Amino acid sequence: DAGVIQSPRHEVTEMGQEVTLRCKPISGHDYLFWYRQTMMRGLELLIYFNNNVPIDDSGMPEDRFSAKMPNASFSTLKIQPSEPRDSAVYFCASSFGGAHQPQHFGDGTRLSIL
C-alpha cells in the first residue's frame, strides 16, 4: 500500500511569497496531522483533522498559516506571506481508528524561505 504522500519534497522561495504544501493520507485513514520539525524546537503539532474536520489548530503559529482538508484524500497547508523563520521540515501524518493508534508519516517537505 502507498504510504502518506507529500509534495513537494523540497521548496525554496523568497520571503513574502505564498507557499502551499500538499498531503495525501493513507486511504481509509480518518485522522490527518500536520507537524513542523526544526532543530531548535523539535517536532511540533500544528493542526489535526478527524473525518476532514479540523479538531485542534492550537499549534498553528499565527494567522499566516492555514490548513484545509476538502476531502478524505487531500489536505493542504498554506503559508502566506512566508517568512525566513518558517524554514523547517513539514510532515503530514495519518492514522485510523482513534487517537491512540499509531500515526504514519510522510517523508516531509523541506521548506527554505530566503
Partner 1 sequence: AQSVTQLDSHVSVSEGTPVLLRCNYSSSYSPSLFWYVQHPNKGLQLLLKYTSAATLVKGINGFEAEFKKSETSFHLTKPSAHMSDAAEYFCVVTRSGNTGKLIFGQGTTLQVKP
Cα-trace Rg, the chain: 13
Write down the least CB distance from residue 6 to partner 1, Å. Answer: 8
Distance CA 84, CA 114 (A): 6
For partner 1, which residue of 4, 26, 60, 67 counts as binding (CB under 8 A)?
A: 4
Q: Considering beta carbons, is residue 45 or 72 the nearer one to partner 1?
A: 45
Question: What residues from 65 to 104 belong to the interface with partner 1 (CB under 8 A)?
Answer: 91, 93, 95, 98-100, 102-104
23, 48, 86, 113: which one contacts partner 1 (CB under 8 A)?
48
Residues forming beta bridges with residue 105, ordered by sequence position? 93
Q: Is the sign of the CA dihedral 19, 91, 62, 38 positive or negative? A: negative
- C-beta neighbour count of 3 within 10 angstroms: 13
Residues within the interface to partner 1 (CB under 8 A) = 4, 31, 33, 42-43, 45, 48, 50, 55-56, 91, 93, 95, 98-100, 102-108, 110
